[in-house]
Amino acid sequence: MMLNANEIAVLRELATKYTALAAHPSQEKTRQLWYALNRRDMKKPMVLINQMPWRELSCPELVCKVEDRYWRRVENWLRQSIYKMEHLPVDMVLTPYILLSRPIGGCSVRDYGLIYEVKRIGCSQEFTDVLQTEEDLEKIHKSTVTWDRAREEEIKQTAHMLFDGICEFRMKGANLHCGIWDFVSFAKSVTNCYLDLYDRPEFMHAIMRRLTDCILDTIDQLNAIKGFDIASTLTHCSHNFTDELPIGMDEATSDQAWAMGMAQLFTSVSPDITEEFEIPYLQEIYAKFGAVYYGCCERLDDRLELIEKLPNVRKVSCSPWSNRERFAERLSKKYIMSNKPSPALLATDTFDEQLVREDLRRTMDAAKRYDVPLEMILKDISTVRNDPARLWRWAEIAAEETANF
């Protein structure tokens, strides 16, 4: 893992800048606001921005200079974190240490044998059905979790050389994506999933059974080595500060960690399908975790009572496809409403600040009316029409509106 003198200087300079931002007194105040929200004692709605169109935000401070693949990812994380804190912080909290990925493998869906066949059509993708027959089920198999300890020791030695005297670092373990239907839709295509849910329900149950068993086995293996991540403070783009679970440790088991899951293609199926093909499998998986963030872009306001059947859920996603008033009215008081403001407001011909304010106010009014703890996570931002100032202004407006809550 060779870094030249210039690359070392670059990483040390970025670490110094990052550490200064993380140590600012305002960070502790914001951290405590997140703790309050996550114990369902909200002081104000909390706001974050994530999953940004970085290709449209090109500027000198985002240009990476390190060649080594591993340390280039660290450099990119530092640069993006600094950029966000300087231009669109809203309620972002930086970890008071550098996060380094632990070399743990065997935890992804590809390790379960699902190799997707994808044809790109412009910016879109067309997926080929690779799970068509009973024989194809044999492609799905359990994986072996690996932890390259020699590689980790190399990483740590380099980290000490880079960061000693500037800041601490932590090793970040595994975060499991438990959105099984996302995996299945990539393997079969969304259209074929819908057809087989109707025509071959037993076959779809067989797929879910095998993938659930794979994930449960992976959880057991990671628990045996305490390989879960609780060093980072984000779960599905939301800060996970909580009094109920530890934060900041290098090693952890699943009952100390957060998980996330979703069934995005189920926006276009009935709640009965969700109850039959999603809930029983996730009940087994979520029972293993300390806390869960459920949902993403799918509509959930018409099936929130089903989410209550899932153990350990703390936050539920209210996407632009959910009716936010109905969502707030029906959401159990034990959950946090994790609203997703529409990123489409950043993609219009002319950026309409008043429309952004009205959108935020509508969500906050619904949360206030039904006494629901609220966070708003702007994400899945495909474009800002090459105008980064739109993001900066959205952040300023959100900060103003939530401060007045």
* Residues 166-208 pLDDT 10s: 999 999 999 999 999 999 999 999 999 999 999 999 999 999 9
Which among 20, 25, 38, 17 has a CA at the least distance from the CA of 233?
Answer: 38
Cα–Cα dist 19/93, whole Å: 12
Average pLDDT estimate for 10-22: 98
Q: Name the amino acid, one letter, at 142.
A: K
Average pLDDT estimate for 236-244: 96
Task: Evaluate whether 337 touches 320 at the Cβ level (below 8 Å).
Answer: no
Task: Evaluate whether 15 touches 167 at the Cβ level (below 8 Å).
Answer: yes
- The pLDDT tens digits for 259-269 are 999 999 999 99
What percentage of the chain exceeds 90 in pLDDT?
94
**Rg of the chain, C-alpha, whole Å:** 22
| DSSP-assigned letter for residue 60 | G
Q: Name the amino acid, one letter, at 14.
A: L
pLDDT beyond 90 at 109: no
Average pLDDT estimate for 100-106: 97
Domain 5-403 has CATH 3.20.20.210: yes
Task: Evaluate whether 250 touches 227 at the Cβ level (below 8 Å).
Answer: no
Q: Which residue has the tokens 């930086």?
A: 94
| pLDDT number for residue 116 | 86
| pLDDT number for residue 1 | 60
Question: pLDDT confidence of 115, banded at 50, 70, 90?
Answer: confident
CB burial class (10 A; 0-12, 13-18, 19+) of residue 280? middle
- The pLDDT tens digits for 36-58 are 999 999 999 999 999 999 999 98
Strands (E), 222-346: 234-235, 238-239, 258-261, 291-294, 313-318, 336-339
- The pLDDT tens digits for 50-99 are 999 999 998 999 999 999 999 999 999 999 999 999 999 999 999 999 99
Q: Name the amino acid, one letter, at 78.
A: L
Q: Which residues pair with 61 in a beta bridge?
A: none
Task: Evaluate whether 284 touches 319 at the Cβ level (below 8 Å).
Answer: no
| DSSP-assigned letter for residue 91 | T
Task: Please report the DSSP string for 105-145 in residue order.
Answer: ES-SGGGGT----EEEETTEEEE-----STGGGGG------
| pLDDT number for residue 393 | 98
Cα–Cα dist 143/163, whole Å: 35
Written as six digits, the tokens of 255 are 């009952």
Q: Which residue has the tokens 């997703």?
A: 340
Instruction: Give the C-alpha distances (Å, rounded to integers) separating 27 from 91, 97, 145.
Output: 9, 13, 36
Task: Evaluate whether 194 touches 267 at the Cβ level (below 8 Å).
Answer: no
Phi and psi angles of residue 289, each rounded to the nearest 5 degrees, phi first: -105, 160
Q: Rounded to an integer, what is the distance from CA 338 to the centroid of its chain?
A: 12
Cα–Cα dist 279/27, whole Å: 38
What percent of the chain is helix, strand and coil (3-state, nearest 5)? 50, 15, 40
Which among 217, 227, 294, 209 has a CA at the least distance from the CA of 259?
Answer: 294
Q: Which residue has the tokens 């060093």?
A: 231
Cα–Cα dist 117/96, whole Å: 41
Instruction: Give the C-alpha distances (Å, rounded to integers) separating 50 from 14, 166, 223.
Output: 20, 27, 29
Question: pLDDT confidence of 285, banded at 50, 70, 90?
Answer: very high
* Residue partners of 185: CB distance under 8 A and separation at least 6: 127, 193, 264, 265
